[in-house]
Amino acid sequence: MVHELADYERAADQCHLTAGQLSGVLFDEPTVFGHVAVDEDDVPVGFALWFLNFSTWTGTSGIHLEDLYVRPGARGTGAGGALLAALAEICVRRGYQRLEWVMLDWNPAAQFYAAIGATVTDDWLPYRLTGDALRRLAERATPVNR
């Protein structure tokens, strides 16, 4: 379904995730956590992949939702809401103060997110280092930092 999400986000050519990679980060050396929504026949219809972050302002961990995807045929069935509710329950139970995610500006899910009370944080801008820029910065690391 991750590849289906990449296709939906108009970036299929950028998704290179393999089943082995996903299995590794979920089960071998867990750094990512996941929930799967299934229909009445136990067929997967959606997923949420997430990891923990930390807020120095609240002094607590939180959940960063990396991907939330519901297959087109299951949209509107409550699967997405159930996945988000499961993550919210983890936050409340563990004392986490935040459940955060980013999404593409054209994604119609914005209406759904607003309906559950999520707000856009337009004062914080996401930054990303990849490829050559990431490698150039890594080269600047001193031996003490390695």
Let me know if 69 is a catalytic residue.
no
Residue 37: CB atoms within 10 Å? 23
Q: Which of these is catalytic: 69, 96, 113, 127?
A: 113
Rounded to an integer, what distance in angstroms lies between the CA atom of residue 11 and that of residue 21? 19
Q: Alpha helices, DSSP H only, in 24-146?
A: 79-94, 109-115, 131-139
Contact yes or no for 25/31 (Cβ under 8 A): yes
User: Which sequence positions are flagged as catalytic?
Assistant: 113
